[in-house]
Amino acid sequence: MEKVNVTINGIAVSVPSDYTVLLAAREAGIDIPTLCYLKDINEIAACRVCVVEADINGVPMRNLPASCVLQVQEGMNVRTNTAQVRKAVKSNVELILANHNRECLVCKRNGSCELQKLCDELGLTEVSYEGKMRKAVVDDLSHSIVRDSSKCILCGRCVSVCRDGQGIGVLDFTHRGFNTEVAPAFDFSMRDVDCIFCGQCINACPVAALKEKSNIDDVWAAIEDPDKIVVVQTAPAVRASLGEEFGFPVGTPVTGKMVAALKRIGFDKVFDTNFSADLTIMEEGTELLNRVTTGGKLPMITSCSPGWIRFCEMKYPDFLDNLSTCKSPQQMFGAIVKSYYAEKFNIDPKKIVSVSVMPCTSKKTEAKRPEMQVDGLADVDIALTTRELGDMIKQARINFPALADEECDSILGEYTGAGVIFGATGGVMEAALRTVADILTGQDLKDIEYNVCRGIEGVKEATLTLPIGGVPTEINIAIAHGTANAAKVLDAVRAGEKNYHFIEVMACPGGCVHGGGQSHVSAKARLDVNPKVNRANALYSEDERQTLRKSHDNPEVKALYADFLKEPNGHLSHKLLHTHYHKRDVYCQD
């Protein structure tokens, strides 16, 4: 690409012609403050915090342009730290603070708030503008997300990620002038619109205007109840993000420390959702083979992501029969805990409190679905996010970095590398192919890394040749992450433009590693690191370290079938591990 020469604070740099001044400044090692800016998602210059002085060949530019949208030009001279710039930035931030709930010490984002950090960098000690504030609205009616308008700074990041990133558009600017706020249309609760509770709005929010609905107190109460047996499962992606809560670099795997922390918190048993990820492959892989060989409904679409399931129910109900009937690994695990595990250890399942730690806010709503119970008992009683687990560890005064690695408890704690990679986009597909290929060939194949499934392209496609009924057969697969990309795939199938056999969909961009319940990564940090890539790499590295890397080789899963379930897709499996989905009225939470 053509490059242009610009000068920023006296430093000459040559940068691509499509760069903004904000990006060019980073090339020169100069930090320009930002707040509304979120790379590739929200670049609208709303907050005016990144303003600069600039001239082109000695001709001053009018006013103070925002560097996040100001494209570089040959001969441009930029100054980021003049008295006029400092005064403007300070005034703009004070105006934001004038209508902001400043109870920082008791705020969920205290310590990780991007506005708080900016105020510290600017040395703000008081707010010059005091007056009337917008009426606060706290919407906490859903199981998953809380919206607090008193914290909102109208940056628009949540609007852009929901509308443009996810293709849903639940949130937008409502009302006018002073009364403007970000909310669903007609002041509806997020519970009562077509929100899928993916939590990408929470990831985008720089403050605490959007956050998960906390269930921490419920877990502490269960742990302290002597009549309850509290078991916990942890999803694959959690181990790739939890360390960030304690200062580890983005994408540092902390599996052993995570297990040790859970035991010290006081859970009676610590298990791993990777186990039920392996179990899911046994059930889902068998279901796929049955559909392909018996003329069942194709393409079969994965059902692990609850946000995607809600999206399908509301937006694409004509594809409901294409969904795998398998419950998600979270729900499968809960069902097995209250049946197989309870029976094996002679425990009354009513005394078991099944807790999950997930990278996902939509898992909270999934756990409350009426379909997700067996014989009147919920599969999962309480779902926490990665951030909530981080908070619990801090509340328990545990020195997380100093913990020695420990292992999960047995029976439901063993897992393979295939179970680990569930957390990355393409991971479910790759795990399924490892097992399906072995079953169809009758061999223990050694080439098991399906790189065609990896990467963060929005939609990935491939054609694989597998022996079905002894005949080499082409199987067409597709992988989509983010519901906007899922819509593209389904629209193509609906129009007859694509013919797939198996489709993997994850509601969140990058898959579960970038779920709405993962650790916050600031907009500034995202300029230098991609959480989706780093966290996925953490899971792939753990996969490579595993002795067993195929779901059907998991000895505890084998024992589960031998002692209890008997066979994949059998009668008991269908009772415990499978479910159904239905066309959903958007004005219906469950």
In a domain, 583, yes or no: no
Do the Cβ atoms of 495 and 488 come closer than 8 Å? no
Q: Which of 194, 212, 230 is the last residue of a domain?
A: 212
The C-alpha atoms of residue 413 and residue 432 are separated, in whole angstroms, by 20
Q: Could you tell me the pLDDT band of residue 586, with boundaries at 50, 70 and 90? A: low
Q: Which residues contact 106 (CB under 8 A, 6 or more apart)?
A: none
**Same domain assignment for residues 186 and 245:** no
Please identify which residue in the block is written with the tokens 């966290």: 535
Judge if 381 and 477 occupy the same domain: yes
User: 474 forms bridges with which residues in the sheet?
Assistant: 465
Print the domain residue range for 157.
Answer: 99-212
Nearest-CA neighbor of 362 among 318, 311, 316, 422? 311
Q: Is residue 590's pLDDT more than 80?
A: no
pLDDT in the model for residue 584: 81
The vertex-330 CA angle with 328 and 332, nearest 5°, equals: 70
Which helix (H) or strand (E) segment holds residue 172: the answer is strand 172-174
Q: Of the candidates 212, 228, 246, which is a domain's last residue?
A: 212
CA end-to-end span of the chain, whole Å? 51
* DSSP symbols for 465-487: EEEETTEEEEEEEEEEESHHHHH
Determine the average pLDDT of the residues in 494-513. Answer: 97
- 16 forms beta bridges with 3
Strand-pair partners of 464: 475
CATH number, position 201: 3.30.70.20
Q: Which long-range contacts (CB under 8 A, 24 or more apart) does 546-549 make?
A: 546/415, 546/416, 546/417, 546/420, 548/416, 548/417, 549/416, 549/417, 549/418, 549/434, 549/448
Q: Which residue has the tokens 């907050």?
A: 47
- Does any domain span residue 146? yes
d(Cα 109, Cα 91) in Å, to the nearest integer?
Answer: 23
Name the amino acid, one letter, at 560: L
For 220-243, letters b (16+ CB in 10 Å) and e give eebbeeeebbbbbbbbbbbbbbbb
> What is the residue whose two structure tokens read 């697969």?
477
Looking at the structure, do residues 314 and 458 belong to the same domain, yes or no? yes
Whether 367 is in a domain gets the answer yes
Residues 206 and 227 in one domain: no
Pick the closest to residue 82 from 10, 28, 130 (CA basis): 10
**Confidence band of 16 (pLDDT split at 50, 70, 90):** very high
Does 50 share its domain with 141? Answer: no
Rg (CA), the chain: 25
* In a domain? residue 589: no
Measured between alpha carbons, how far is 513 from 527 in angstroms, rounded to an integer? 18
- Of 188, 212, 236, the position where a domain reaches its end is 212
Active site residues: 284, 287, 304, 324, 363, 366, 371, 512
Average pLDDT over residues 423-437: 96
For 282-398, where are the E strands, in sequence order? 300-301, 352-358, 373-374, 377-378, 382-385
Q: What percent of the chain has pLDDT over 70?
A: 99
- The CATH number of the domain holding residue 308 is 3.40.50.1780
Mean pLDDT of the chain: 96
Quick: pLDDT tens for 255-265: 999 999 999 99
pLDDT tens digits, 475-496: 999 999 999 999 999 999 999 9
Q: How many domains does one find in the chain?
A: 3
Same domain as 266, residue 392 = yes
Q: What is the predicted pLDDT for the residue at 1?
A: 76
In a domain, 199, yes or no: yes
In percent, how much of the chain has pLDDT > 90? Answer: 94
Q: 3-state secondary structure string, 356-368?
A: EEECCCHHHHHHC
User: Residue 574 is which amino acid?
Assistant: H
Looking at the structure, tell me whether residues 327 and 404 fall in a common domain: yes
